[in-house]
Each structure stands twice: as C-alpha cells, then as structure tokens.
C-alpha cells in the first residue's frame, strides 16, 4: 500500500500525486509498488525490500545527499498461544525533496503524524521529521516495556493461583519479548549514536536537542528492558521455589496418607495369619470383626486429626 502526504498551510493531508515535499508511506508494499517507488525516486530496490525482511539489521547509510536509516519498531505477534512482542524493520529514506518510510506493518505511531497529533510537524522539515520518527519509536518501545511489566505484575500477584503450563508459557513469552526488544534497542542506539556524530545530516534549529532526546529515551528504554529482565528472572525463580514447595507438600501429604492406610493393612494381616485364634484379641468374641474394624477406623481417625492439627494433612 502506498500513501502520499503533504503539509500545506500547516495542515498535513493525503494527496494523490507525488510532488516535492511529499511523505511517501509504504506499508507492506507489493513488488510492483516497490519497483514503482524505486524507479520514480531513484532508491535502490534492495534497500526498499530490506525493510520487509524481518532478519535485516539496523544501520545507517549515506548515498550522496540521500540518507537511509533502518531501525526496529515494535510489532505484535502470537507466540505459544500468548501475545508476545517482537520487532520489525522500519526503513526511513531522506531524499532531497521527499521522505519515504517503508515497513511490513503499519507502525503504531506513524499515524499520529498525518492525523495532526504531532505538534509542529511538516513534511517539508524532512530532517526533523526523520529524527522525530526515531524519538517517537523510542517512546513507543518504552510504552511496550511498561505494558510487559504490568503483565508481569499481574502474573506475580496471582502466583498463588498458578496451576497450569499456560501460566509458565505466558511468563516465558514476556521474557522472550524482552530479549527481542533489548536486542532491537541496542541496534537503534547504535543508529542514533552514528547520526549524532554525522556531519552529513542537515542540522536545523533544535535538531541537536531532538537527536539528544531520541538517544536519551532509547538509552532509558535499554535500562528499562534490563531491569524488567532481571525482575522476570526473579519472578521465575520465585515461581520455581513455589512449585517445589507445592511438590514437597503434596509428597508429604501422600506419605502420611500412605501411613494411615497401612494401619488397616497391618491389622488385617495379623488376623489373616493361620494361627490359633485363642491368642488373638477379640477373635472369639461376638461381633469381634465389627469391633476390630471400628477400633481400626477410630485409631486412623484420631491419627488424621492429630496430623491435621500439626498441619501435616
């Protein structure tokens, strides 16, 4: 899908034709759309296709006055039946008269630009537009990290109710998300660091501060991801300890139940031996069998009450 946006008199709106100052937004483009933009704007076809490759690495490339920035942006996907967060490449091309963004999905924050929710945005301020995208991307990742931590807190709050494998898989999904996001943040940080050092990026008023803000926000996101990973490691250790304690408790209860059930077996074994009944208590007594059963049950009941009082059952 190809969309064209142009800012006129301070208002950004969608246009039908490509003209100077246009923002070209490509979302999951087809091969024909890639070829069209490549031919019209002179962008290398492989560079445009790179943003559709989930394995592509973040980088910055200069080609004369043109600039290509490839960063990772959050995406949502399903993993092991739970919702986990991964990243997809976002390609940004800064040309002499145009800005081109390419992504296999529609990034959550790009719509804010053409919907008028970004103060002072203009498609004519191309360098500032590129840096603002990087800043907004870092802020989006921070929100995703905060959402992951919120889900971790919910999981930790209900850890007493954890019973099934689905709960363990959900925790693993959160940890996997943090691994993906941490890796992407480090790559994005390298991109921002290089842009800060570069003298080939056109510097407008406030650009240095904006780049610094984007870099700082990305570094904060890296620290957040590391902290949340450490906390989830602690949560996993806590869950492992809780599961071990539950297993020990179950084994202890089964042991005592086995001991209680052994008492009737021992009594019946004694009375089942082929010996002279004259020496067996209650062997020749009327209703002796019933009395023995009642005494056995009574003894087992007393033992169970004692164990329950000691919290062994």
Residue 91: how many CB atoms within 10 A of its CB? 22
> What is the C-alpha end-to-end distance of the chain, expressed in Å?
65
Looking up tokens 């019946």 gives 268
Residue pair 30/104 in contact by the 8 Å Cβ criterion: no
Q: Which CATH class is domain 246-309?
A: mainly alpha
Q: Which of the given ranges, 4-18, 49-63, 175-189, has the highest pLDDT on average? A: 175-189
What are the boundaries of each domain within the chain? 2-245, 246-309
Do the domains 246-309 and 2-245 match in fold? no
Residues of the chain with pLDDT > 70: what percent? 89
Q: State the CATH architecture for 2-245.
A: 2-Layer Sandwich (3.30)
Reported pTM: 0.76
Burial of 172 (0-12, 13-18, 19+ CB in 10 A): middle
pLDDT at 80: 46
The pLDDT-based confidence of 220 (bands split at 50, 70, 90) is very high
pLDDT tens digits, residue range 121-172?
A: 888 888 888 888 889 999 998 998 998 888 888 877 777 666 566 667 777 7
pLDDT tens digits, residue range 94-122?
A: 888 888 889 888 887 888 888 878 887 88
The pLDDT-based confidence of 216 (bands split at 50, 70, 90) is very high
d(CA 217, CA 129): 17
d(CA 25, CA 27): 7
The pLDDT-based confidence of 205 (bands split at 50, 70, 90) is low
Residues of the chain with pLDDT > 90: what percent? 5
Mean model confidence pLDDT for the chain: 82
pLDDT, average across residues 241-246: 78
pLDDT at 81: 46
**Is 38 a residue whose pLDDT tops 90?**
no
Helix (H, G, I), strand (E, B) or coil at 87: strand
**Is 84 a residue whose pLDDT tops 70?**
no
**Is 177 a residue whose pLDDT tops 60?**
yes
């Amino acid at each position: 899908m190809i969309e064209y946006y142009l800012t006129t008199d301070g208002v950004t709106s969608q246009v039908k034709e490509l003209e100077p100052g246009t923002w070209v937004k490509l979302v999951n483009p087809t091969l024909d759309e890639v070829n069209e933009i490549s031919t019209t704007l002179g962008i290398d076809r492989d560079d445009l296709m790179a943003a559709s490759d989930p394995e592509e690495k973040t980088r910055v490339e200069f080609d004369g006055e043109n600039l290509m920035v490839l960063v990772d942006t959050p995406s949502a996907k399903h993993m092991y039946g739970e919702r986990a967060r991964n990243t997809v490449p976002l390609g940004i091309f800064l040309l002499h008269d145009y800005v081109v963004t390419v992504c296999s999905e529609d990034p959550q924050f790009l719509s804010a630009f053409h919907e008028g929710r970004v103060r002072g945005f203009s498609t004519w301020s191309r360098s500032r537009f590129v840096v603002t995208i990087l800043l907004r991307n870092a802020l989006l990742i921070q929100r995703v990290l905060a959402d992951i931590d919120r889900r971790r807190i919910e999981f930790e709050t209900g850890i007493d109710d954890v019973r099934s494998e689905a709960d363990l898989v959900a925790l693993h999904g959160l940890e996997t998300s943090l691994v993906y996001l941490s890796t992407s943040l480090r790559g994005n940080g390298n991109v921002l660091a290089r842009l800060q050092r570069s003298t080939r990026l056109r510097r407008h008023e406030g650009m240095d501060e904006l780049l610094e803000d984007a870099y700082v926000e990305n570094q904060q996101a890296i620290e957040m991801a590391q902290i949340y990973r450490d906390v989830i490691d602690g949560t996993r250790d806590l869950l492992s300890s809780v599961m071990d304690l539950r297993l020990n408790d179950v084994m202890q209860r089964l042991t005592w139940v086995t001991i209680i059930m052994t008492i009737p077996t021992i009594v019946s074994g004694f009375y089942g031996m082929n010996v002279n009944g004259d020496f067996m208590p209650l062997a020749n007594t009327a209703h002796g069998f019933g009395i023995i059963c009642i005494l056995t049950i009574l003894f087992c009941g007393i033992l169970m009450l004692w164990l329950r009082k000691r919290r062994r059952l």
